[in-house]
Structure 1
Amino acid sequence: MLDEKRKMRQLAEKLGISLTSIEEEVKLLHFNRLNIVDLMPEMLLMVRSLISTQTFAYKRKPIGVIEKGLFISFQNIFLTEETGKAIGKRALNNQPHVRIMPSHLESEVLFPRDVHIQQITILVELEYLKRFVGNDADKLSYLFVVEKTFWIEEFMSPEMTDLVAQLANLSTENILSEAFYRLKALELIYLLFSNLLKREKTEHQHLSNAEIDAVYLVRNTIESNLEKPLTKDELVKLGGMNELKLRRIFTQVFGKGIYEYYNHLRMQKAARLLKQEDLSVSEVGYQLGFSNLSYFGRLFEKHFGLKPKKWTDKNRR
């Protein structure tokens, strides 16, 4: 335990983060694993698996160790429904997800109580990333204009989720460990960029912290009300901006339109209920607000490639 805390302090110092103000809170963290891999000047990699005994947060200041870079955080989250309701504005999405932001952007780091977090955080230098992507960099040009303040959240594919779990659960150092971790970090970035290329097209514009907070409030409220879609007026009131602007910023941050995102969350929850609970297809459909079970079946098949019953037979243990 002391070794993990020492590693965290070493990382904080390298990133120019002061932990003095939250010294007592750091003691609340229980680490299953913490590994920091220094691949500078191109990359810095942190692998951690932890649980906090109390909820706390701290502000991460702009990072100066890399002049121009991206901060990419892959997270597997394991939380109870009760814990999920207690988390605030930019709540931890309880789906496996990844967040991307420029390294110069200040952000809040949140440790919710009794939530198991598996996290792979990659700080990567921008020119190195461009060379990695090569001639395809133009397809993701918005990522390389770090002067604009942007914030992106993306659902992780099963391949990314499995890779994060693999790295978070490694118990021994690998032969050629630096080469291993560099390879795995680039594999995660490759899988992420493959996902981003499937996003709904939208113009990427400068976002303020207030705008980011507003779309997270909308997203979190949608996630808490999957059995009934919010009306247009409710969405506009929550976001505090006109409908056109809200839809544009929502798509820019989350890569999907609001209604498409809502249906994606419903299908993900449907899959969890079918796999983990002793519920029938009709019970799951009605629980998620579907009065037309045929539509529920078609939507589920669109997302998972199988009708709910066949998917359940294949995946339920």
Structure 2
Amino acid sequence: MIYHQAKDPDSYQTIFYKQIGLKRQSASLPENDWANDQIGSIYTYGRMDSIQFGIGDYTIPEDFFVEFQYDTEYLHAGIIYEGITYSLVENRMEKSAIPSPFLAIEQASGGINCWKHGQHFKGVEISIEMNYLKKKILPYLGASDDSLDFLVKNVRHIHLPKELIDLIMQVQSLLESHSMTPELLLALGTAFTALLIRQANRQFFFSGADLMSERIFVGNRPIRIRPDEYKKIIAAHDLLRDHADSFVTIYALSQTLGLGEQKLKAGFQELYQQTIWDYANQVRMTKAAALLKNTDKTVDEIARLTGYQSPAAFRTMFKKWSQTTPRKFRSYFSGTD
């Protein structure tokens, strides 16, 4: 098992680049150029504590974990041209590919990322650290620090205004030609923020209108989700984040929220780009890994604490998620077999 710990975003990036086999081609900050003919390449410009742009095209060569021990909050946007990810669907690991533009305010308070052999990504990203955005960029624009409150944290928007997509593509062109400069980095990061908070674009994202104005299909049947139903889907995400250990069925969750089961499932996947079960399992497995690593609780106790009535079912799911058993995962940290 390969397991790393990162104490800040910069160390996470370095760990990730080295672990997948990339070698530094240039170390002239704010430029970072990493490549390997067999694996691919990642090129970034800027700093993670302010603004960073990046392009990448790479494949994960082997399974590994990275635990991040810090809080992060970024305005994150870009275009994924190629991407293979793995999800737990009905107790089995499945590949999926979701190429698309995206935008989100991504907030995390520590966690564990499980990277899988064969995952492939190609795309361009814009990352602006939220504290920097609120203290530097928004005051420069004459905007208040709540100007982005119309974006719900961790909701991943995949329908962006053309002017934002055009700016992302301009960033990509400058990175590909290695023509980015500190002045362009700041100007484009500021311009992106200015375009995003324009009133017309606020309305575009308001209450999920960008996601829910078009029909969502359940099988061959189109459905529409109202703004009040959209808020219930966000409430479902928050309930799972805080109480995934008590989650039993999607039907029970739908009854708690007063929302139809089909709308809840379809709307959740549209908003968060993953199934309800996938998200619940992600939360449960991350909690299980922390308990295995940091406590002396038995595997059966941890199974119950993460919502599994059957320890055998917990062991099966943990192995699907991590490619190792709970006992072997724990022994890696304790130094015992």
**Which TM bucket (shorter chain)?**
0.3 to 0.5
Answer 1 or 2: which has greater helix percent: 1
TM-score, normalisation: structure 2: 0.45
Answer 1 or 2: which has greater strand percent: 2
TM-score, normalisation: structure 1: 0.47
